[in-house]
Amino acid sequence: MLELYSVSSGYGRLPVLFDINFSVAPGELVAVLGPNGAGKSTLLKTILGVVPASRGTIVFDRTRVTHEPASGRFVRGIALSPEGRRIFVNLTVRENLVTGSSGVAPDVAARQMERAFELFPVLGERQGQRAGSLSGGEQQMLAIGRALVSAPRLLMIDELSMGLAPLVVAGLYETLRILADEGLAVVVVDQFASKMLAVADRACVVEKGRIVLDGTGEENQAELLAGAAVGLDRK
């Protein structure tokens, strides 16, 4: 569904990603791991198109989208829940979800909002409350819910577990597993390997702008948990 062939990108004249070959299939849950500054967020932004690729080819749904702006890729079904979640703390839960629906057919958005409430019942219970009153885990649910409102086929989440308790993170991964099993392609960036390897179909490690490891959880697990190459947290 998504393929990157020899993609490089960066900011202005600063190169960040080098020769990235990466793919995600429908129903696949892929974990992208790696140390701070490795280029994980840049990879997601390059896939969405907010950072342009300077070399290589990006294909989504058999269409070359390498030079298509992010708005066009969003319409095709690529959604990103950004690092830091970026929810609007002074808007209500429902209003935050609505911000994910611009350009989305109203019936689709309404259906997807119900789906978000089904996956995360606490959002439904608190839809009239200020988003700033939610816990960190609930705010992450809201960020994911907002990304789901556009009915994406590729869902990308940056720094899923940042600041959250392990049990909360495990719950979020279970929900992402359900979504992937329904056919959604899911890419999750995290700094910590632990919780994710049990549910992910594949794990990739980005280091200094290159993918240095890409394989199924089992293949990678020993190497990742050893953490030797990448200095990943072992918790």
Which residues sit at the interface with ligand ADP, rule CB under 6 A? 11, 14, 16, 34, 36-42
Which value, in Å, is the radius of gyration of the alpha carbons in the chain? 17
- Judged by beta carbon, residue 1 or residue 189, the one nearer Mg ion is 189
- 163 token code pair: 């600041």
- Which amino acid is located at 161 in the chain? S
Tell me if residue 127 falls in helix, strand or coil.
Answer: coil
Q: Which is nearer to Mg ion, 1 or 157 (CB)?
A: 157
Residue among 160 and 176 whose Cβ is closer to Mg ion:
160
CB of 115 to ligand ADP, least distance (A): 28
- Read off the tokens for 218: 């089992």
**Residue placing its CB nearer to ligand ADP in the complex, 27 or 35:** 35
Q: Are strands 154-157 and 185-190 parallel, antiparallel or unpaired?
A: parallel
SS3 32: strand
Q: Which of 33, 39, 41, 144 forms a contact with Mg ion (CB under 5 A)?
A: 41
Taking the least distance from each CB to ligand ADP, the nearer of 98 and 162 is 162
* Shortest separation between residue 31's beta carbon and ligand ADP, angstroms: 13
Number of Cβ atoms within 10 Å of the Cβ of 100: 23
Minimal distance, residue 191 CB to Mg ion, in Å: 8
**Binding residues for Mg ion, total number by CB under 5 A:** 3
Which range touches Mg ion (CB under 5 A), out of 41-49, 61-69, 111-119, 222-230? 41-49
Q: How far apart are the C-alpha atoms of 178 and 119, rounded to whole Å?
A: 9
Contact 146, 81 (CB under 8 A): yes
Number of H helices, E strands in the chain: 9, 10
Residues 73-92 that bind Mg ion (CB under 5 A): 83
Minimum distance from CB of 12 to ligand ADP (Å)?
7
What residue 84 binds from ligand ADP, Mg ion, none (CB within 5 to 8 A, per partner kind)? none
Where do we find the tokens 């609505």? 98
User: Which residues here bind Mg ion, judged by CB under 5 A?
Assistant: 40-41, 83
